[in-house]
Chain A
Amino acid sequence: MKHTFLLLFLLIPSLYAQTTVDGFALPQPGKVFVFPRDHGSHPEFRTEWWYVTGHLDAKDGHRFGFQVTFFRQARREDGKTLHLHLAHAALLDAQTGRFFHEERLNRAGWDAASFETTLAVHNGNWSLRLDESTQRLHIAATVKNEALLQLELEVIKPLVIFGTDGVSRKGASETAASHYLTWPRLKTTGTVKLGPAEYTVTGEAWMDHEFSSSQLEEGQVGWDWAAVQLKDGREIMVYRMRRKDGTLDAASTLAVVEKNGNVRHLASTAFTWEVLGTWKSPRSGAMYPNHVRLCFENESVELKPLASDQEQDGGITRLPYWEGSCDVIDSHGQITGRAFLELAGYAGDLAGHLTPKAVK
């Protein structure tokens, strides 16, 4: 009994350290993930997202890049926890360069929800669901009333948990971390309807599921992220946390997922990120370095956007960012894969928007 009291006494400080000041959970090393439950929602964390990006090809040679993302953001108000569901959908018609995108925001409730028991999220008429019987994912999304995507995603490479001991660090502070789960390669089939034309498509997608309570830390202003799918069966995930003073946060990393599913994390000093070209948005005025070259372990990977304007204008959240489909080119000029590149924080300080504010 005595020992029990002592154990409790010792545990109390660490119990406090498991939550943010306002009571949201923090990622804990050694977390044992249980599926399909952990594909579902974790409302004890402040922020969570299910992020699907991919590349599609139609039989007639049409090529598309798509993104369907569901966010959940919680806040405390009058002792209650309120959840908002934000979602983004985008489609690039690579042939014409036309980029369609839409942002959506709803309260948790009848028109937006994320289930806790399995992967099932929806926001309005957009949805992402895991069919447990087939282990396939289903996406239905429209972009305004101009495009309709209905896709089925089959897991062809096992789930990856990035970070160390189940925790992916984004900064030095204790709270700047997340649980970061990824399906790096999903075989994708389905249809894309654009105007009167309907395309039967096949391709590959990438899905991140990440939950945390305070990812950005003091001094960080944004990030660059890329998901690269190489033809040789490997994938690369890279993120660079940018600081206000122009330096790179030491928590930045590049991870290589080998063909067999093994993951190698490289430190921020073990890779370089060279800007080859920029594009200035006529809407937000932001200058996006959207043509880059990654160098690591004697490898050179150039990410070249399929279209310059793949900016999501953040009409509701007022957080414009660039998220676009790219070709991957090796040092010999050969296309060796496809990638999605995300450039956030170029149209203003993200920390100002994303750190929790006092409730009015």
Chain B
Amino acid sequence: MSTVLLILRRCALRHWRLAFKQQLALMLILALGSSVYLAVRLASNAALSGFETFTDGVTRQPDWTVQALAGSLHEADLRSMRELLGPRPVSLLPVVEETVTPALDKGNGEIGSRATWRLLGVDFVALLNLRGEAPAGLGASNLQSVHAGVYVSPKLGTKAGEELRLIVDDRVITLKVAGVVPEVPGVPSLPAHLLLMDLPEAQTILQRMDRIDRVEVLSQNSPTFPQLREETGALLKSHWQVRGGSDRRQLAGTMTQAFRLNLTILSLLALLVGGYLIFQALDGVVLRRRNEIGILKSLGVTDRAIQIAFLLEAGLLGLCGGSFGVLLGWLGAQAAVGGVTKTMNALYGATSEQQASLSVSEASLALSISILASLIAAWWPARMAARTPPAHMLGHHATPFEGGTVWRVEWIGWAMMLAAVLLAQLPVLRFENGARLPLAGYTAALLWLMGAGLAASTILRLVAQKKARSAVWRIALSHLRRPTVRHRFAVAALASAVAMTTGMAVMVASFDHTMRGWIDRTMKADIYVSSAGAQSASSTHAITQKTVAELGQEPGVEELAFVQARTLLWHGGEVLILGTNPVFAHKHQLYAWVQAPQHEEWWQPEDGITPAIMSESWSERFATRVGDVIDLAGHKVRVVAMNAEYGNERGSLTLPSSVFREWFDTDEAWRVALMLKPGVDPETVRSHIEASQPGLSVFTNAHLRREALRIFRQTFSVTHALEVIGVIVAVVGLGLALTSLLLERRSVLTTLHSLGMTRREISKSAALEGLGVACAGAFTGIAAGLWLGWLLVYRINKQCFGWTLQFHAVWWHLAVLGAAVVATGMLVAALVGRWAALLPPEHQEE
């Protein structure tokens, strides 16, 4: 071991000092790679924890949450629950819950720009029985009356006695702040955007007399009641929808799993590109230190010691880069959390923006990944250094060193690509609650990326076949004709980054294209109305029938229809149930059919079974086919058609409005669509409604289309940032690879200089070499990216979200991407060439 440390100190660290900038660049690549991964992970975790704080907060984690099979729970249900549980010591805490929006927060006019808070109505008196398990200081003590108003978290920054103007459903109301709930150590505290209100008052405010949204159940096991939790769950499940307290978070986790996995995989791209670059850099290091390695071997140092010393050096590099990466990652997470949260909110609903906090385990994971990537990348060069005989290492007349032969065999790359094509044919992995994992698809994408990177050398050689007359061109091309491992890996890194970017660009373009078509087919009303508080996919703000009727009375309105919505648990997952006026939808052809119904009047029941339309996501998620009869909330439903619905990926089932009202016992609308009389200006009607109904958001058709596309694009903002980082890493890597190559050719450069080549010509030659590498990387990357795009559109996206997209590539986008990569690659190469041309002959490393 002492020999290893001696080699490490005398050789490796000495070189680090001499070539400090190069080492720094390598560390930066590693830091960037691991930091992107860490940042995305932290931001995703923070966004996910936002789900938890939105749903919890009243008590410690409830053991069970009970909801009606459909609609609301009533007092009679509560009595039945207590009766069913008998003498078991179970706390039942009824809750009404509603999203509310501060009326003063006008946002910037975009959907999602206004804050979404939650108003929870809980029985303050009953809460006293949960001392230590619920927030204290709610004023219901000493048998005296409860203070009217809302209780807030100190984090909200309001004081008792102040007033809050809130949008509740379609109304603007003013609530007095009755108190600020103190934060007591060990007792659950209120999240910042949760407002607590005494149950009876909340029921009055929300106009839900006798109705409860859910019941939180506390039933802890004890030696006296060893099976209490399980017994309680089993008894309640016989009559109601019951889920475990942690299920909601798990549900949020499952729901967002595909999205988070996509992000994580994308974040590993930078690490993959970084891995290639570390490999080529260490390969160059072995080459440059071959004299030293030869001497050490001649002196009797074992192969094993040399290999270990190289691996230790790589590990050290990984440690330094990883440590810096942790810092960068934490900073990146702070920047990314907003974007990730917004995206999750748009796609999946109510999560709140949380601070992305770094834990020791997360930091260790990022550090380990950095070290592991470094070790894997160093494995081959270290082995090569150990195994090459001393005679090959010593002397300037030794065999030209071109790196490991395995990595020069291009068929490995092609084989990987073939395996990817085969894997892409495999089906998705399905789980109980409808969650899916396209494992084969992801593996195919990874193999394809790596394979394309390795096979890119073929293109490099094709580029090098160009006939050239000038010496500058000839020198440049001669290096590409017999590419070293450094060349190959620089191309591979670039090709991988460009392929991923191209693939994502194709998917986004396909999405954009499909969405536009879908919007054209389904958004035909002149005006759309929702509650002003409806800011995300899960906002529960509703519009009352009274308001709907008032909207129908608006001068200029010819026709009106509304959509009702509720969520249900089905097969362990949350689904959206919609109620629409089928006659209106049929008349205006508002459905985008994937599989049209056999009968035009699909809403007419056959055999007394309720007809329904499922979305594509539903079909993909639950493997339901058109014609199937399913059991839903105690009712039999026949799926008669399938429609395209890009609004949510949980899956939706559309019922005729009469059935919906019967099931859920509500006539509240979720969204209202207005058709105007011919010649009426939508903008005038919009302004008029907004002025008379301050609790509503009113959109003209054109405005809502713009918003829909903006929200859709916003969901890809984080993705774009990750792609850019991948390409930057690849281009920096190209510069590093060329630096390494030119340093190895120091003597050749001196000779060329002596033969009369000017520095400008040497620089130009390097730039052309870089151009070749960049061209090969960009061309292979774009070509491979098109297939990757196909994989993402037709396999991974379909399997994750259930959406059928039309393949669409914006060619000029790809051309710009290719040109930018080639131009940047050439520029970096020219700069490196210029620096190399200025190197004095005696310089060792710099």
Contact = CB atoms under 8 A, between A and B. Distances in A.
Interface of A: 73, 75, 77, 82, 84, 86, 104-107, 109-111, 124-127, 140-142, 144-148, 150, 193-196, 315-318, 353, 357, 359-360
A352 to B, nearest CB: 10
A194 B224 contact: yes
B143 A73 contact: yes
Given A316-B131, A318-B142, A353-B142, A142 B89 contact: yes
A91 to B, nearest CB: 11
A111 B224 contact: no
Contact of A196 (B89, B131, B142, B224): B224
Interface of B: 75, 78-79, 82, 85-92, 123, 125-126, 128-129, 131, 141-145, 147, 220, 222-226, 228
A145 B141 contact: no
Nearest to A73: B143
B224 A110 contact: no
A145 B225 contact: yes
A77 B145 CA distance: 8
A110 B82 contact: yes
B85 A146 contact: no
Contacts of A75: 143, 145
Given A125-B86, A140-B87, A150-B87, A145 B228 contact: yes
Nearest to A103: B129
A120 to B, nearest CB: 13
Contacts of B90: 125
B87 A125 contact: yes
19 contacts: A84-B143, A105-B125, A105-B126, A106-B123, A110-B78, A111-B92, A124-B82, A125-B87, A140-B86, A142-B89, A145-B220, A145-B224, A146-B224, A315-B131, A316-B131, A316-B141, A318-B142, A359-B145, A360-B144
B223 A104 contact: no
A111 B126 contact: yes
A111 B87 contact: no
B386 to A, nearest CB: 65
Given A125-B89, A145-B222, A104 B143 contact: no
Contacts of B125: 84, 105-107
A145 B225 CA distance: 7
Contacts of B141: 316, 318
- With most chain B CB atoms within 10 A of its CB, the pick from A82, A110, A150, A194 is A110
Contact of A142 (B78, B87, B131): B87
A154 to B, nearest CB: 20
A330 B89 CA distance: 40
Given A127-B87, A140-B87, A148-B224, 15 more contacts: A82-B145, A84-B125, A84-B143, A107-B125, A124-B129, A125-B82, A125-B87, A145-B220, A145-B222, A145-B224, A145-B228, A148-B89, A194-B224, A359-B145, A360-B145
A107 B222 CA distance: 27
B495 to A, nearest CB: 63
Nearest to B210: A110
Nearest to B220: A145
Contact of B89 (A86, A127, A145, A357): A145
Nearest to A127: B87
A353 B144 CA distance: 10
B60 to A, nearest CB: 14
Main secondary structure of the interface of B (DSSP, over half): loop
A140 B226 CA distance: 19
Nearest to A144: B89
A313 B473 CA distance: 93
B77 to A, nearest CB: 9
A111 B83 CA distance: 10
Contacts of B222: 145-146
Contacts of A360: 144-145, 147
A105 to B, nearest CB: 5
A260 to B, nearest CB: 37
Nearest to B82: A111
B10 to A, nearest CB: 68
A145 B75 CA distance: 25
A104 to B, nearest CB: 5
Nearest to B139: A360
Contact of A86 (B85, B143, B226): B143
A110 B143 contact: no
Given A111-B82, A125-B87, A142-B87, A105 B129 contact: yes
B66 to A, nearest CB: 14
A148 B87 contact: yes
A317 B89 contact: no
Contact of B224 (A127, A195, A353): A195
Contacts of B223: 146, 195-196
Given A140-B87, A317-B142, A110 B79 contact: yes
A107 B144 contact: no
A106 B126 CA distance: 5
Given A105-B125, A145-B225, A125 B144 contact: no
A317 B145 CA distance: 13
B79 A193 contact: no
A92 B226 CA distance: 22
A19 B78 CA distance: 35
A261 B131 CA distance: 44
A147 B148 CA distance: 37
A215 to B, nearest CB: 15
Contacts of B128: 105, 316
A2 B271 CA distance: 105
A147 B143 CA distance: 27
Residue from B89, B220, B226 having most chain A Cβ neighbours under 10 A: B89
Contacts of B91: 124
B767 to A, nearest CB: 77
A53 to B, nearest CB: 19
A141 B145 CA distance: 27
Contacts of B224: 145-148, 193-196
Nearest to B212: A110
Q: Closest 3 A-B residue pairs measured CB to CB?
A: A140-B87, A142-B89, A110-B78
